[in-house]
Structure 1
Amino acid sequence: MPIRALIFDFDGLMVDTETPALHSWQEIYAEYGVTLSVHDWAVTLGANAGFDAHAHLVALVRERDPLLAEQLIAERDLILARRQARKDALSADQPLLPGVAELLAEAHTAGLPCAVASSSSRRWVEGWLRRLDVYHAFTTIVTADDVAATKPAPDLFLTAATRLGVPPNACLVLEDSPNGILAARAAGCPVVAVPGAVSRQIPLPPADLILPSLAQTSLAELRARFG
């Protein structure tokens, strides 16, 4: 079926917030002499659950220093707040990733509606879209606040398709994460994988097309490929 809408992931696809998310935790782990690997972290990509970084930190520290591990448990809220502040600081100056603005402009010119489907909160996603002056480019924005289950469940993409008034198999999904690709597949959407700085370090499920960057394609090329 010809492509009648585009559905964009947000984190890692439009803006590289995934690197600050990982690095902010890695810095805290390093303070306690342990390491957070990208492979342990990978389950979180595209999802908002599935891995408790603080609990993992406690488990690693407990192997070396049980008393310190108990201290970390007592200081959980403080550590989480400190990590969030560091993530926000590392994210603050991140720009739109290459090709995003151009693809949105091409879609606007062609009259092709666009949506965002993100496992992050509405406050996080809309704040970024407004800051980067692309909020107006989207017909609808679907976030974790709108569905019962986030990626890899299909709910976000199915909700976006319903709001767009377009069948899922006519909505082309642009994704960077394993959970996002699985969710798009489950929703029956064709999916283009655009691995980000973090997700390119891990295996990805099969996608209909893999691109190194959205700057390496155009709307015309995508419509020709999937039309």
Structure 2
Amino acid sequence: MTCGVCGADTPCTPTIFVVDDDEAMRHSLVFLLQSLGQPVQAFASAESFLAAWGKRHAGCLVADVRMPGISGLELQRELNERGDSLGIVFISGHGDIPMVVRAMRAGAIAFLEKPFNDQVLLDHVAEALARSATECARKAGIRFIAERVERLTGRERAVMELVAAGKPNKVIAHDLDISMKTVEVHRAHVMEKMQAGSVAELTRLLVQAGLLPG
């Protein structure tokens, strides 16, 4: 099974990424976060992190807010624009209320001020990993549905949309100016290619992929 987020041949292993320009803090964070049993990768700057960021992954980003060059908040904005599934936990020795509000509104899991309690950080990172895994699975589901839709011919897709809209075969035949027998054939192909056992299941798949309104 391929990963629906990065497209790899197997689902991605959730990874914890640490971005902090303070070398001592970076090493301390890596040592602490390794206790969660997930891979941990560390970077001294947002620029080096982005340069190594070839594909999207499920996981968590623990990042300082104030760093030379690209700040933590700017990094968050860049990742959001890319549609990445990383949960973000910010740490800072000099946070203020507007900064916290901005980070949380943009989807951060938590904003911790240094010095912070180690267990609190671990709890937030575990939450971020769980949320990221859920989002990765959601995107994988959408990807698989889209791949099924791509296997349909243009006429099969037209029939599918009318079937999902609740139209009976007679109406579909009239709307598309084809015979009832042809509708039945296309409908059978649609159900097979979409791997749907019923019209209700077909409709659910299309709603899940955003191809029909909920």
Could you tell me the TM-score, scaled by structure 1's length?
Answer: 0.36
Question: Highest CA radius of gyration, 1 or 2?
Answer: 2
Of structures 1 and 2, the one with the larger relative CO (CA 8 A, separation 6+) is: 1
Could you tell me the TM-score, scaled by structure 2's length?
Answer: 0.37
